[in-house]
Amino acid sequence: MRDAAADIARRAWLDCPRCAGAADCATCRAGRTCDTHWRYMLGSAGRNIFLQCPECLHRWWHDTGFGVGDRPPGIGDVSGFWTDVA
């Protein structure tokens, strides 16, 4: 059953870990966005997104590998930024 939060306006182009529906698609293999092999993006939490495959209806969390928690400690520290201004 398709998730109630599924909306075609919120999509992601990632492989489904269950059905591999995009395995034979030249567009997907080239890393481009295909009109056929997209996934519903149901939600997100930090750097993780919750997806559903419209082909097999499998739902799963995917770690995008970027976002919350990726910045080294102190990178946003701007203390002293205004100390040099006269």
Q: What's the pLDDT score for residue 83? A: 61
Grade residue 84 by pLDDT with cuts at 50, 70 and 90.
low
Determine contact, residues 2/54, Cβ cutoff 8 Å: yes
Determine contact, residues 17/60, Cβ cutoff 8 Å: yes
The amino acid occupying position 53 is C
Q: Mean of the pLDDT values across residues 14-40?
A: 86
Q: Is residue 60 classed as helix, strand or coil in its secondary structure?
A: strand
Q: Is residue 30 pLDDT above 70, yes or no?
A: yes
Q: What's the pLDDT score for residue 28? A: 84
Indicate the helix (H) or strand (E) that contains 26.
helix 26-29
Distances in Å between the Cα of 1 and the Cα atoms of 30, 32, 55, 68 are 30, 28, 11, 31
Q: Is residue 24 pLDDT above 60, yes or no?
A: yes
Render pLDDT for 46-77 as a digit per residue (tens, 0 to 9).
Answer: 889 999 999 899 999 999 887 666 666 776 67
